[in-house]
Chains A and B, each alone.
Chain A
Amino acid sequence: MASFQQSVEAAVPALRRYARALTRNADIADDLVQDTLVRALRSERLFQGGDIRAWLFTILTNLNRNRLRSLARRPAMSHLEDDDAADFSGPEAGGRDISRALAGLVEDQREALLLVVLEGLSYREIAEVQGVPIGTVMSRLARARAQIKSYLDGERPALRRVK
């Protein structure tokens, strides 16, 4: 009982890191983490065992997808939130940094890449988080890496902020 709460508590820094990279906005990221914690602590009985981190990443990923869905209905808002990447002090001033490259990815590719690279989840765990076969995870990773590479190499694909 107490160890469940301790495990949740211990995962908070990683959840914040993942949420921050996913949304590239500190406030939105912490809102997501807070909602994730509220749900996780309320539904302790639903936790089937296994890796609690993967379970928490699943909740956070789904909450973020819900957020983006409701955002898509109000497209005017989507341009305001990207405070990490949106450094518009001239076209080359911000440079082609990694957060801009991440911003250009489709959401499910960004999730897969961040979970493997930043959070060290296995392909199998990511497949569970995203609810897809491992093969789908691998093709998402491949597409994410190809797109980031072409972006950093100087090609300029149309930024896709919302899926």
Chain B
Amino acid sequence: MTNPDPNVTPEELHAYVDNELTPERRGAVEIWLASHPDDAAQVAAWRAQADAIRARYNAVASEPVPARLKVEQILRNGRSWRAVAAAAVIAAFIGGGVVGWVAHGASAAPVEVSAFERLSGEAIAAHKLYINEVRHPIEVGAT
């Protein structure tokens, strides 16, 4: 305890910069850096990187929060989104039943194949339209 290992690993240099060391190891690293200028330069460079990153992006946290990121707003939209989701599930269920019924009829009577193709074409078109909305599900209106 009074005599900590004087050798410092590269991992400890990172941990030193990131304040992850115990006070004892912190002291050992500081002693090490005083006599190892290459490591001291390395540490200084990492600190400069961190300062540059903070200087570049810290201001974002001080910007006013846009309305769409207010918790209140999201909770309000969430309720209507659940209604849309419920409606979509019901529509998918009914739609599946219709497709199945038509497909059954189509296999029985070849004349109906075009109706089946039209329906599946519409389903694919609807899929292509709404698949893009995954990113903003809550912006899809309830009506």
Contact = CB atoms under 8 A, between A and B. Distances in A.
Interface string A10-32: 00111011001100000000110
A148 B138 CA distance: 38
Interface residues of A, number: 38
Given A37-B71, A98-B52, A123 B78 contact: no
B107 to A, nearest CB: 34
Contact of A41 (B58, B60, B74): B74
B26 to A, nearest CB: 15
Interface in B7-29: 10-11, 14-15, 18, 20
A12 B46 contact: no
Interface in B45-67: 45-46, 49-50, 52-58, 60-63, 65-66
Nearest to A42: B78
A33 interface: yes
Given A31-B135, A31-B136, A8 B58 contact: no
Interface string A40-54: 011000000000000
A14 B61 contact: yes
A122 B20 contact: yes
B75 interface: yes
A149 interface: yes
Nearest to B135: A31
A16 B65 contact: yes
Interface majority SS on B: helix, strand, loop or mixed? helix
Contacts of A9: 70-71
A99 interface: yes
A38 B78 contact: yes
A13 B65 contact: yes
Contacts of B70: 9
B71 A98 contact: no
A116 interface: yes
Contact of B53 (A12, A114, A122, A149): A114
Contacts of B46: 145, 149
A12 B15 CA distance: 28
A17 B136 CA distance: 20
Contact of A141 (B14, B52, B54, B135): B14
Contact of B45 (A13, A98, A149): A149
B31 to A, nearest CB: 22
A132 interface: no
Lowest 3 CB-CB distances: which A-B pairs, in order? A13-B61, A98-B52, A17-B60
18 contacts: A9-B70, A9-B71, A16-B60, A17-B57, A17-B60, A30-B68, A34-B68, A37-B69, A37-B71, A38-B81, A41-B71, A98-B55, A98-B56, A99-B56, A114-B53, A118-B57, A123-B15, A142-B10
